[in-house]
Amino acid sequence: MKSNLTKTINQNEINHGATEPLSCPPLEGGPEFSIPRRGRKRVAFTLAEVLITLAIIGVVAAITIPSLVKNYNEKAWETGRSVFEKRLEEAVKQLNTEEKLAGYSSTMDFVNELKNKIKITKICDSNELTKCFENTIHANYKDVDITEFQNAGQFTKENWGTETVGVQFANGVNALIAYNPNTEQQPFNNQFSATAASMAILYDVSGNKNPNTLGKDINMNGNVKSLGCMISPDLIGGICISQILAPSAYGALTKAQCEEIADNGYGNNKSYCTSDNDYWAGAVKACGGVSNMPNMNELLELAKYIYEDDDIKSEPNDAVEMMTIGLRGLEISTTQMNTDKAAQFIAASPISGDHSAFLIWSNEVGSDSIVYSRYFDYGSTMVNTIGGNERSDTLAVCIDR
């Protein structure tokens, strides 16, 4: 029997193309059985199928991976921001509780005390800020040079008269800090917001890594001035609006103060200093000079943007002539305001009423020292000369040249 079985199997091995199963002779007294033969044919993907599959995988990856990375980065930045702000507030509150928050004449003195409450690995003075912080950050349509922030006057909303200091924290956060020497500590107030009261801070939770962009890895508290442009310059004739200030934020100057800023290179003519309640001079000072305020053509471009009307006409007649004939100004647009585009101006405006309205100072002064401004309301926009430089309802719009 063994001989017959071997012979049958060997014969089937020779017949490679045979499809019959391998046969085994029956055992004595048993049934005949067979072993199915494994075929030689192989099943596989073609090259075209493999390439199509890889292409599909690539497309899916191209769609999903950037989104996953973006979500991961945003989560990491948000977590870093939350953790850092909480730790910093705890440290500053300890200074407040110990009555060590107030009384410093410089930011460097304050930071040297702060490092006893939160671990700081490096401190850079105002002349070497880039040794602790990135040279440039991107903020609202514009790249901002950090070396311009050497003192609080350049860095904070109000000029505290202190210097800006670079700080690197042990947790990898880099920061710029300016101290408020007018800080009043409240050691028995657990609800006291000590950080907001004592400093302006701009910080990067990703250290020296990209993207170095405000609102992503870079954040700041409310004491830092507006960075970048509030509206895309491409939409308003290329100008960069850096700040919109209400009259209560910039205030009026006296005649003597107006003459003082004229002597200090702010660009206003002393002959314009005729009032002890000069709001226009206050706007000039707040913006850092006449050159940092919009001219009438630039306000015209802003009007075209807000009213979505490129056909708004050019500027009207001489200011003295308008005053003589009793006009507030020459109406040059009857299109309706896009209140979404004007929202930042409306929010800052002190003009009351049931319609959206605001005035903006220009840097131009006409005949007889009459200051030009532009009036905007829901239904029209016009040039204004009424009230001169004493108008207490006009916004200061600062331009970053």
Kindly tell me if the per-residue pLDDT of 141 is higher than 80: yes
pLDDT of 77 > 50? The answer is yes
**pLDDT value at 58 more than 80:** yes
> Any residues with CB less than 8 A from the CB of 382 and at least 6 apart, and which?
316, 328, 329, 330, 331, 332, 333, 374, 375
**pLDDT at position 223, please?**
94
DSSP, residue by residue, 60-73? HHHHHHHHHHHHHH
Q: Work out the burial of residue 355: count CB atoms within 10 Å of its CB; fewer than 13 is exposed, 13-18 middle, 19 or more buried.
A: exposed
Q: Write the pLDDT tens digit of every residue in 98-136.
A: 999 999 999 999 999 999 999 999 999 999 999 999 999
User: What is the per-residue pLDDT across 319-352, written as a single tens digit (0 to 9) for each?
Assistant: 433 333 334 444 455 578 999 999 999 999 998 6
Asked if the model's pLDDT at residue 169 lies above 80, the reply is: yes
* Cβ atoms 377, 337 nearer than 8 A: yes
- Under the banding of pLDDT at 50, 70 and 90, the label for residue 385 is confident
Question: Which of 94-98, 187-191, 290-294 has the weakest average pLDDT?
Answer: 187-191
- pLDDT of 378 reads 85
> CA 24, 25, 28: angle at the middle one, nearest 5?
130
DSSP 109-164: HHHHHHTTTS-EEEEE-GGGGGGTS-SEEE-SSSEEEGGG-SBHHHHBSS--S-BE
pLDDT (mean) for 240-250: 93
